[in-house]
Structure 1
Amino acid sequence: MTIRRVPLLFVSLVAAVALVATGCSAEADPTTATTAPPPADSVAGVTVPDAFTAITVIPIGNAPLPFRGSDGKYHVVYDLQLTNATAEPATLERIEVVDGLKPTKIIASFSGAALVDTTCTFGDCNRLRSLPAGYVDTAVIAPQESRVLFIDFTLDSLDDVPTALLHHLYGTGAASPAFGTPGPIDYLTTPVAISTETVPVIAPPLRGDNWIALNGCCEPGFPHRSSVMSVNGKLNNSQRFAIDWKRTNDAGEFYSGDKTSNESYVDYGTEILAVADGTVVSILDGMEANAPGTLPAHNPELAAKLTVENVDGNHVVLDIGGGVYAMYAHMISGSLTVKPGDKVTEGQVIGKLGNTGNANASHLHFQLMDGPSLLEADSLPYEFKSFDYDGQVDPSAIADADDYLSGTFLQGKLPKSESRTLELPLNLAIVDFP
């Protein structure tokens, strides 16, 4: 199966798997018995019917935190690990996300092309992946094998978001512990609580017009939504809500002149800003610029030099309080103006946009996460205080572009920009920052 890679691939790392624990206790004395604590994987008010489950389901990362996107809708985004825990093949034909307190209420449903489609390059397709996140050509899960499943859906109002979710699986697989001939499977499993945390609200990391949210949330056809990695003994995704910010000129071009020169790119050298008051946790500086048009991970000689520490290129991690960390990647060597321990204020220049690490063209990779380590942290959604929304880039234009991102990309720009507050620009949004 061949599915074309979308340009500007940047793969870093991680998230935190929610562990499912079970326990047993000795027979209790009825005169002294106390109420047993709920199972570690339980969610208040949610009942999971007992059933033999050929395909087990475990959440990857923390409880999903709903946020408002630039489409005006509220998005719920998370990942699941599916494992065929039997000796017989299992096939996932459909998975429904249902209200955990009202299991007959279907919130979202995924089947057919949404799970696997070898002809699809982007959009609502290919959500079912091998580990850690490679494409597959069938919804069959072989015995003792696992898959990743990317879940996301939208609701019109925050009031419509359930307090908890359940997952209804349909397909074929072993119907009992006897592992007999595969038959129909149909069961509810794996409660997931919706986070009640507050969505972080930040200032923009850049200034100026014609910024495009490359590789943004939420469908899995583009990085970073599907950048699950196997690190620290678990599957993680710290990039689930990351954006590669890249700027065009007024003609819609990412560069003018010599495409092999970093200085020809409109965004190269742009000042990068602190999105909130905070403290510098870590930096990396001194990595030289890449030549445009070549992704180091796809060049054996360059790939051999990539490590967990330098895949992001020159970068900065800020602690902006409340357990939230901001990460900026691919900056110009020597442009960083901060060091670990420095206090920064919102809007302060911390460096300049470049093309270092695993990048094939200049851009700012920006993300929020719940810890300082790219290996341990889970990705966090966020909303900007304000920006002007200018329309959308056609995803076909990006998918069909060469590795220099040649061409023009503002055909979907609105006649007049729209002022927005408390929203996250979604994939390929055209944005003006004040």
Structure 2
Amino acid sequence: MADVTVPDAFTAITINPIGEPPLPFRGTDGKYHVVYDLQLTNATKVPATLGKIDVVDGTDPKKILASFTGTALIDPTCTFGNCNRLRGLPASVIDNAEIPPQESRVLFIDFTLDSLEQAPKVLLHHVSGAGAASPAFGTPGPVDYLSTPLALSTQTLPVISPPVKGDNWIALNGCCEPGFPHRSSVMSVNGKLNNSQRFAIDWKRTNDQGEFYTGDKTSNESYADYGSEILAVGDATVVSILDGMEANAPGVLPASNPALAAKLTVKNVDGNHVVLDLGGGVFAMYAHMISGSVAVKPGDKVTEGQVIGKLGNTGNANASHLHFQLMDGPSLLEADSLPYALKSFHYDGQVAPQQIADADDYLSGTFLQGKLPSPESRTNELPLNLAIVDFP
């Protein structure tokens, strides 16, 4: 950051990054994504209001990379997409951009670049709005300043094999816009705000007709993905497992049911699961497996493509799926989320977000209307939210 200068200023709203420096990655839209979260705090005795925040090049602050204002920050009528990026703690939807005295907010940032060559080494944040203009506080007035240099990560992007095989997998709740889990899954854990699920995907499969289930929707066995083999995404060492949790009934999210929620803990919320150490500070986490299907134990060495369990519906899940993510440590609570790329797959289109938003808790209906005429071969990309993916 030697070439970055931040002018001295009284800053009514302080800004702190949540998690490690952002690591750019290529998505299935062909663009490079920069994704991170910020904690904004009004460190004064008078109200402050965030009017606009621009992400700018640290060495050339006149070069705006992304701008967030208006409905991108707050929009009570919007349920998903480029909206409601400014949240209460830990990530609750709010109805205005005011930050009361001595309170904090979370801001979800993501933007795209056409190439990595466009990525600056350091980002800066240009804040404008209203708040205290000096240490004397006084009546809120206009504020406008540069703040918080943030270097992009120079870490090598992890490249892994797929965690499942077969056609018609949907990347539910994937990156990057707010409105779907897991992008906004900030939690207060281990004495800090953390988002270990920022790049997590809930992999769920349809049949060739685009249905997630056929027959009795209250039976796990009716779902196309239930019992699918789960694969090691690389050569690795097993760090930890949990097995023995019984299956949930489809259609009921335990966290939404007081009796079931009381049984959830930080240890079992992910159901039967496996954590792998891929080396180089990269860990893979697989959640919600079928009871008794976990085929490994801590300390085991596994090889890429090895079956480590079967896809189920355990823990805090309302339907069968594989929750998969990479992170920079073995603990879901302590670790930060890592983006990654899949070595190879076939990209086969997108599911419309409104279809998922309108679906019932069983995901009834058909969901492959957005399939391409023929799938496209892709390498070294991360499937974005609601991508339709085939794994040969």
Normalising by structure 2, report the TM-score.
Answer: 1.00
Q: Distance in 2 between matches of 1:100 and 1:312?
A: 39
Q: Distance in 2 between matches of 1:113 and 1:210?
A: 34
Q: Distance in 2 between matches of 1:300 and 1:138?
A: 30
Q: Which residue in 2 is equivalent to 1:142?
A: 100
Secondary structure in 2 aligned to 1:109? strand
Secondary structure in 1 aligned to 2:381? coil
Out of 225, 229, 233, which is 1:267 matched to?
Answer: 225
Task: Please report how far the alpha carbon of residue 45 of structure 1 lies from its aligned counterpart in structure 2 after TM superposition.
Answer: 1.6
Q: Deviations over 1:129-188 (max 9, x none)?
A: 001100000000111100000000000001001100000001000111111100000000
The amino acid across from 1:288 in the alignment is E
Out of 129, 140, 156, which is 1:171 matched to?
Answer: 129
Secondary structure in 1 aligned to 2:16? strand
Secondary structure in 1 aligned to 2:355? helix
Task: Please report how far the alpha carbon of residue 46 of structure 1 lies from its aligned counterpart in structure 2 after TM superposition.
Answer: 1.0
The amino acid across from 1:249 in the alignment is N
Out of 2, 9, 16, which is 1:58 matched to?
Answer: 16
Out of 390, 401, 405, which is 2:359 matched to?
Answer: 401
Q: Deviations over 1:324-378 (max 9, x none)?
A: 0000000000001000000000000000000000000000000000000111100
Q: Which residue in 2 is equivalent to 1:308?
A: 266
Secondary structure in 2 aligned to 1:263? helix
Q: Deviations over 1:75-119 (max 9, x none)?
A: 000000000001111000100000001011000000001000000
Q: Which residue in 1 is equivalent to 2:80?
A: 122
Q: Which residue in 2 is equivalent to 1:245?
A: 203
- 2:385 is the counterpart of 1:431: no
Task: Please report how far the alpha carbon of residue 384 of structure 1 lies from its aligned counterpart in structure 2 after TM superposition.
Answer: 0.3
Q: Distance in 1 between matches of 2:157 and 2:283?
A: 13
Q: Which residue in 2 is equivalent to 1:280?
A: 238
Structure having the higher strand fraction is: 2
Secondary structure in 1 aligned to 2:117? helix
Superposed CA RMSD in Å reads 0.4
Q: Distance in 2 between matches of 1:118 and 1:428?
A: 23
- 2:34 is the counterpart of 1:70: no
Matches within 5 A, 1:140-289: 140-289=98-247
Q: Distance in 1 between matches of 2:197 and 2:372?
A: 29
Task: Please report how far the alpha carbon of residue 425 of structure 1 lies from its aligned counterpart in structure 2 after TM superposition.
Answer: 0.2
The amino acid across from 1:207 in the alignment is K
Q: Which residue in 1 is equivalent to 2:323?
A: 365
Q: Distance in 1 between matches of 2:32 and 2:305?
A: 27
The amino acid across from 1:428 in the alignment is L
Q: Distance in 1 between matches of 2:18 and 2:126?
A: 17
Q: Which residue in 2 is equivalent to 1:91?
A: 49
- 2:294 is the counterpart of 1:336: yes
Listed as ranges, the gaps of 5+ residues in structure 1 are: 1-42
Q: Which residue in 2 is equivalent to 1:295?
A: 253
Secondary structure in 1 aligned to 2:380? coil
The amino acid across from 1:151 in the alignment is I
Q: Distance in 1 between matches of 2:261 and 2:318?
A: 12
Q: Which residue in 2 is equivalent to 1:112?
A: 70
Normalising by structure 1, report the TM-score.
Answer: 0.90
- 2:348 is the counterpart of 1:390: yes
Q: Distance in 2 between matches of 1:411 and 1:44?
A: 51
Q: Distance in 2 between matches of 1:232 and 1:341?
A: 26
Q: Distance in 1 between matches of 2:334 and 2:59?
A: 31
The amino acid across from 1:334 in the alignment is G
Q: Which residue in 2 is equivalent to 1:20?
A: none
The amino acid across from 2:30 in the alignment is G
Task: Please report how far the alpha carbon of residue 44 of structure 1 lies from its aligned counterpart in structure 2 after TM superposition.
Answer: 2.7
Secondary structure in 1 aligned to 2:71? helix
Identical-residue share of aligned pairs (%): 83
Secondary structure in 1 aligned to 2:384? coil
Q: Distance in 2 between matches of 1:265 and 1:101?
A: 52
Q: Deviations over 1:48-77 (max 9, x none)?
A: 110000000000000000000000100000
Listed as ranges, the gaps of 5+ residues in structure 2 are: none
